[in-house]
Amino acid sequence: MTTMARFPNEYELQKVAQRCHNVLWERHGFDPAQAFDEFSKLLSVKLYDEVTATGSRTVPQRGESADQFAERIRQLFGQANNTPGFANIFPHDDEIKVDDLAIYEVFRHLQNYSLLATTSQVDGADVKGTIYEHIIGNTFRGELGQFFTHRSIVEFMVRLVDIEESHVVYDPACGSGGFLIMSAKIIRDKIRQAHPELSREEVNLRVREYSRHCLIGTEINERTARVARLNLLMHGLDYSNIFTANALKSSALDDKRLYSLLDIGGVDVVFANPPFAGYEKDPTVLARYELGHNGQGHLASVTREVLFIERIIQVLREGGIAGIVLPQGIFTNRNLARVRDYIKRHTKILAVIELPDWAFIPSGTSVRGSLLFIQKLAQVPAKYDVFMKSVNNIGFSSTGRPTKENDFPETIQEFRSKNTRYLVPITEIEDRLDAKFYLPENRQVINLFRSNPKYQLVKLSEIGSFHTEKVNPRNTPELDFELIETSCVDPATLTITPKPIKGYESNYTSLKRVRSGDILISRRRPYRGAIVVVPPELDGALVIPEFSVLRLREGYDPNYVVEILRSPQFVRLMTIYTTGEMSGRIAEKDLRRLQIPILADHHSIGTEFRTLRQRIAELSELMRSQERQIITMCSELIEGH
């Protein structure tokens, strides 16, 4: 009989899983979701055989035909599907929907490996979780790819909260069960550290009991809920508390057992990465939530993550803690200020951790996000400190590849030691709740433009008008226009290369007409420093709404103003003020309020700025000329002239 071993590493597991998937695709042409369903059934049979017997029943025997072997596998699937601890993953009357040869070939690829041996190891359990993240997140990107939070982020969140064996943990949008599995892993580590005398089997039994009583998950998508159940099973955990349900509308009428488990105020810890997209418009759902109303007593559709925040706070017990992955707009957007007010009224904000802009690109979305940690309190103190930090290294790259650089362990230490560098008094937190805005180095930049010991500070709205003359090119379809988009501005050379278009070619119906001498300020990705003066030859050109058009009042020197706006400090200031979930932009309302130093003799400084810019242009042309000379000399030598 073949001796089975645990998968030695993640790559080997992915490689074998890919081979199995190829068999199913080549034999049946299944779409990714169908192929995954059938592969999951075969994996469940193998695990059932290893747990209830020796695993020999799922190994093809010498001389055994494909149809004989497949018949045994189908019988085992039926048994597993009606055996406590394995039932309710698939519908009770479900069947394996692949042919005999496909079953035979898949198990031939799996026969040398033991799922049980893999899941019995702590590091192996981590490897086991990747089979779903890899297959769904890469091969099957699409329908299910959105449900995953990278394990590095998951582990950080669970470790920062520091869960205990007595804590009931709930994930209202559990996806593949990553937060629940990580919770069990950390409880396993704690049990081993506290009780080294326990055998591996005793530890496994205790963790399984913990999962049976303390791990709860709801998932709206049936296929994904099935993934979570099988994932927990493959990690040696009980999956009986994984429910297919909409966490925003579950009630006793839907599932009495689920409703009793989530009795209001009965959960110790919530971990969640609620859906980032989509509005809730169902009035019966909106009516259940304060945030489903507009503040004047009327129902108002909101993005679902807003309602998830309220639901999470509802189910937490007094003193309970939640760690939530949220899009950046929750922390910064003006129209979501009432959401932030709700959080402040009902919870103590423990920490806000801002992730790199690319953190969720490996999961299939470019939405920027942060982590919010809150504690539910009946009486929120008026004064306390919030831990706020922006992390740059998170254990993986923008392509999803693991990296050694990881700021998370250090961040946990800083949080627990209450490192004063990252503590912000709640009384100093204004409307915004993003960590970036309150970092010490960023507050220093903000203060530079709020108070100057030597020079007068003047708001941009006072030194000029923000011009808003609107033009719709489509109204004159045959007319020629010069269109200035953000890509037309080169921040390095401070030049504008417009796009000539006909009116009917415009993708915009509301553009701004500019005049010679206007200052264009790109509000989108302001860190680029795309701030230029409109030259005379572009008088009358049109710019897209991403630009603010500052037309200076008489008496203000444009050379002076534009150089102050281009300064590293002011560009940094605009970047600090950015909001939004995608590329980040500074609102014109914020831009208007920003101040710059205006000296009484600023015209003379403006003249000096202009002279320096002219000298830079002359030197740049000299460099280009000499580069052309070198190229010419090389060509003559090579060509023998």
Average pLDDT over residues 104-131: 67
pLDDT of residue 119: 55
pLDDT of residue 144: 42
Report pLDDT digits (tens) over 309-319: 999 999 999 99
Mapped onto helix, strand or coil, the DSSP state of residue 398 is: coil
Distance CA 293, CA 300 (A): 5
Average pLDDT over residues 289-304: 89
Q: How confident is the model at residue 122 (pLDDT cuts 50, 70, 90)?
A: very low
Average pLDDT over residues 298-319: 93
Q: How confident is the model at residue 27 (pLDDT cuts 50, 70, 90)?
A: confident
Contact 206/198 with Cβ under 8 angstroms? yes
Average pLDDT over residues 421-448: 93
pLDDT of 51 over the 60 cut: yes
* pTM attached to this predicted model: 0.85
Strand spans (E) along 295-436: 302-303, 316-327, 347-354, 369-376, 385-390, 394-396, 402-406, 423-425
Average pLDDT over residues 203-215: 94
Q: Backbone dihedral region of 566: left (phi > 0), alpha (psi from -120 to 50 degrees) or beta?
A: alpha
Average pLDDT over residues 120-127: 44
Average pLDDT over residues 468-474: 88
pLDDT of residue 539: 94
Distance CA 330, CA 306 (A): 8
Tokens of 546: 């991403």
Which of 157-161, 212-216, 229-233, 610-614 is predicted least confidently?
229-233
pLDDT of 250 over the 90 cut: no
Average pLDDT over residues 572-594: 89
pLDDT of residue 309: 96
Average pLDDT over residues 93-111: 91
Q: Which tops the pLDDT comparison, 254 or 172?
A: 172
Distance CA 448, CA 314 (A): 42
**Who's near 471: CB < 8 A, 6+ residues apart?**
510, 511, 512, 513, 542
Percent of all residues in the chain with a pLDDT value above 70, rounded to a whole number: 92
Report pLDDT digits (tens) over 262-280: 877 789 999 999 987 688 8
CATH of segment(s) 459-600:
3.90.220.20
Burial class (CB in 10 A: 0-12, 13-18, 19+), 273: buried
Q: How confident is the model at residue 347 (pLDDT cuts 50, 70, 90)?
A: very high
Distance CA 583, CA 390 (A): 17
pLDDT of residue 21: 80
pLDDT of 126 over the 70 cut: no
Q: How confident is the model at residue 62 (pLDDT cuts 50, 70, 90)?
A: confident
pLDDT of 194 over the 50 cut: yes
Distance CA 41, CA 107 (A): 12
Helices 222-234 and 122-134 meet at what angle, rounded to 10?
Answer: 160
pLDDT of residue 577: 93
- What is the CATH class of 144-438? alpha beta
Q: Output the average pLDDT for the chain.
A: 88
Q: At residue 554, what is the residue type? A: E
pLDDT of residue 100: 94
Distance CA 77, CA 54 (A): 16
Which of 1-10, 72-81, 561-570, 585-594 is predicted least confidently?
1-10
Distance CA 236, CA 230 (A): 10
Q: How confident is the model at residue 143 (pLDDT cuts 50, 70, 90)?
A: very low
Report pLDDT digits (tens) over 368-391: 889 999 999 999 999 999 999 999
pLDDT of residue 361: 81
pLDDT of residue 3: 62
pLDDT of residue 431: 86
Nearest alpha-carbon partner for 589 in 460, 464, 485, 484 = 460
Report pLDDT digits (tens) over 539-549: 999 999 999 99
Average pLDDT over residues 563-585: 90
Burial class (CB in 10 A: 0-12, 13-18, 19+), 185: buried
pLDDT of residue 124: 41
Contact 170/262 with Cβ under 8 angstroms? yes
pLDDT of residue 305: 93
Contact 245/98 with Cβ under 8 angstroms? no
